[in-house]
């Protein structure tokens, strides 16, 4: 075969696999300047992903990519951080009557949490045991004024008698609904077992009327959410109430933490769980907000797709839209269009989240609320939120140093090099247990 024939065959093969755009790239090399046309040339899998999977080829143009900035809140007292007062798991922030409102879990107990074996009727098991739902208001989003309890633990045996925690707020037809985890045993006793209950009010300031019943029940025995319905996160879509929630499953094996969805036409139910649940395969708490025609989700820790921001154009099928870092934990964003049944969600720029490691030692274990800011909004363009050169100090890295077991494994590996174990004679690599 002569050279011209070979070249023609190669060109034909490339043309067939890549399409006609190949003919527009005579040099064949990836261009220095990326244009819309670049997407049409032959691409490696990695480059195809940036053009096809991500919302924009460059990270700076990706509306679902952001970094996060944090500001300490003013106005909350934590009893000198001695572990007796904790605030955590805030709802979305609402703007009503000229000010911001937020609801959250508050624990105010005689002692810090002591675990499931030592807890009593007054001494908490975990940080969210023996808690109530409290609320606070703010005129600027930085200074907060705690207003008091919104939903208190009901009397035994009502759902939530042991603890009411991790609320999610809904505004529906002029009325307000708080959904929350309703514990009927100390968390940690068998796991973190609870269903979801609800209270409603005609004003954000209350008074709140508890329905005193389970509103999103646990799944049947053997189903993924049989033990826990956590982090209820309500939104309004398609004229209905969409509550995303989290459940942990697969114990005693590797624990999975995923998000599901329950839909209702009335805030008091009945809620139908989506047949494709779980819908999000990662993320420890639920933070979702309408975005364009679909819904976006911040998937924090846990799972294959942790530290990502995901998007479901149909509110059900989520794909990774961005990978980021320093994500807010248990975030409750300010979502102006959360309950407007928007046809085109605008995104978020700030909210409240929490830090569970506010105390430096376990004896003072408690959680504090914080403010986060970001640019996950179609309405602002803040290049400072798109920078991804976060640098952690050497001290931060060294705080994640090797454990005792890991050091022992490494010492053993070096010892094996000096005097190889007898099985090395077989030609097999010495067996080192990497699971230590």
Contacting residues toward ligand AAL, per CB under 6 A: 89, 128, 165-166, 181, 192, 230-231, 246, 284-285, 330
Residue 279 or 385 with smaller CB distance to ligand AAL = 279
- Which regions of 124-255 does DSSP assign to beta strands (E)? 132-138, 145-151, 163-172, 175-183, 196-201, 209-216, 230-237, 240-249
In contact, 216 and 195? CB cutoff 8 Å: yes
Residue 63 or 89 with smaller CB distance to ligand AAL = 89
Smallest gap from residue 303 Cβ to ligand AAL (A): 13
Residue 87 or 230 with smaller CB distance to ligand AAL = 230
For residue 48, list its beta bridge partners: none
Which residues, other chains included, contact 329 with Cβ-Cβ below 8 Å and sequence gap of 6+?
A: 284, 285, 300, 301, 353, 354, 355, 356
Q: How far apart are CA 354 and CA 212, in angstroms?
A: 28
Which residues, other chains included, contact 132 with Cβ-Cβ below 8 Å and sequence gap of 6+?
A: 105, 106, 149, 150, 151, 152, 153, 164
Smallest gap from residue 115 Cβ to ligand AAL (A): 15
Smallest gap from residue 94 Cβ to ligand AAL (A): 20
Smallest gap from residue 187 Cβ to ligand AAL (A): 6
Residue 225 or 375 with smaller CB distance to ligand AAL = 225
| Cα-to-chain-centroid distance, residue 244 | 11
250: helix, coil or strand? coil
Smallest gap from residue 159 Cβ to ligand AAL (A): 15
Q: Give me the residue whose beta carbon is nearest to ligand AAL.
A: 166
Smallest gap from residue 124 Cβ to ligand AAL (A): 12
Q: How far apart are CA 64 and CA 291, in angstroms?
A: 9
Smallest gap from residue 299 Cβ to ligand AAL (A): 13
Smallest gap from residue 149 Cβ to ligand AAL (A): 18
Strands 319-323 and 332-333: unpaired
Q: How far apart are CA 67 and CA 375, in angstroms?
A: 8
Residue 164 or 385 with smaller CB distance to ligand AAL = 164
Residue 126 or 377 with smaller CB distance to ligand AAL = 126
Smallest gap from residue 166 Cβ to ligand AAL (A): 4
Closest CA to 258 of 273, 238, 271: 273
Smallest gap from residue 228 Cβ to ligand AAL (A): 7
Residue 225 or 285 with smaller CB distance to ligand AAL = 285
18: helix, coil or strand? helix
Residue 284 or 346 with smaller CB distance to ligand AAL = 284
Residue 62 or 105 with smaller CB distance to ligand AAL = 105
CA distances from 36 to 18, 42, 321, 430 (A): 16, 13, 19, 52
For residue 289, list its beta bridge partners: 296
Strands 175-183 and 294-299: unpaired
Tokens 């907060």, located at residue:
144
Residue 54 or 259 with smaller CB distance to ligand AAL = 259
State the DSSP code for 208: P
């Amino acid at each position: 075969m002569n050279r011209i024939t070979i070249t023609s065959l190669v060109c034909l093969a490339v043309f067939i696999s890549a399409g006609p755009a190949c003919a527009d790239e005579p040099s064949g090399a990836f261009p220095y300047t990326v244009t819309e046309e670049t997407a049409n040339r032959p691409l490696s899998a990695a480059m195809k992903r940036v053009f096809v999977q991500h919302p924009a080829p460059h990270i700076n143009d990706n509306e679902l990519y952001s970094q996060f900035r944090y500001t300490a809140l003013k106005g909350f007292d934590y009893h000198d951080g001695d572990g007796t007062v904790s605030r955590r798991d805030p709802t979305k922030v609402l703007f009503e009557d000229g000010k911001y409102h937020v609801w959250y879990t508050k624990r105010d107990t005689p002692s810090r949490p002591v675990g499931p074996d030592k807890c009593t009727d007054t001494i908490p098991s975990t940080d969210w045991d023996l808690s109530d739902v409290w609320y606070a208001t703010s005129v600027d989003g930085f200074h907060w004024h705690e207003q008091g309890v919104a939903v208190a633990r009901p009397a035994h045996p009502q759902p939530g008698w042991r603890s009411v925690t991790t609320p999610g707020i809904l505004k529906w037809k002029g009325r307000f609904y708080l959904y929350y985890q309703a514990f009927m045993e100390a968390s940690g006793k068998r796991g973190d077992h609870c269903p979801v209950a609800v209270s409603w009010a005609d004003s954000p300031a209350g008074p709140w009327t508890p329905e005193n019943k389970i509103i999103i029940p646990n799944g049947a025995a053997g189903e993924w959410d049989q033990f826990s319905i956590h982090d209820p996160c309500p939104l309004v879509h398609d004229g209905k109430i969409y509550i995303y929630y989290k459940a942990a499953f697969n114990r005693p094996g590797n624990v999975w933490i995923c998000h599901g969805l329950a839909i209702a036409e009335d805030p008091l139910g009945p809620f139908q769980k989506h047949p494709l649940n779980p819908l999000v395969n990662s993320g420890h708490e639920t933070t979702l907000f309408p975005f364009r025609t679909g819904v976006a989700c911040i998937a924090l820790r846990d799972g294959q797709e942790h530290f990502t921001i995901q998007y479901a154009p149909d509110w059900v099928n989520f794909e990774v839209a961005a990978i980021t870092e320093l994500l807010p934990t248990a975030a409750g964003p300010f979502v102006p269009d959360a309950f407007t049944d928007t046809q085109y969600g605008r995104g978020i720029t700030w909210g409240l989240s929490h830090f569970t490691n506010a105390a430096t030692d376990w004896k003072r274990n408690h959680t504090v609320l914080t403010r986060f800011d970001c640019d996950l909004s179609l309405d602002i363009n803040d290049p400072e939120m798109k920078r991804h050169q976060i640098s952690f100090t050497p001290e931060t890295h060294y705080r994640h140093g090797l454990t005792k077991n890991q050091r022992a494994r490494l010492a053993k590996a070096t010892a094996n090099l000096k005097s190889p174990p007898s099985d090395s004679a077989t030609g097999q690599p010495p067996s080192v247990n990497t699971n230590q």
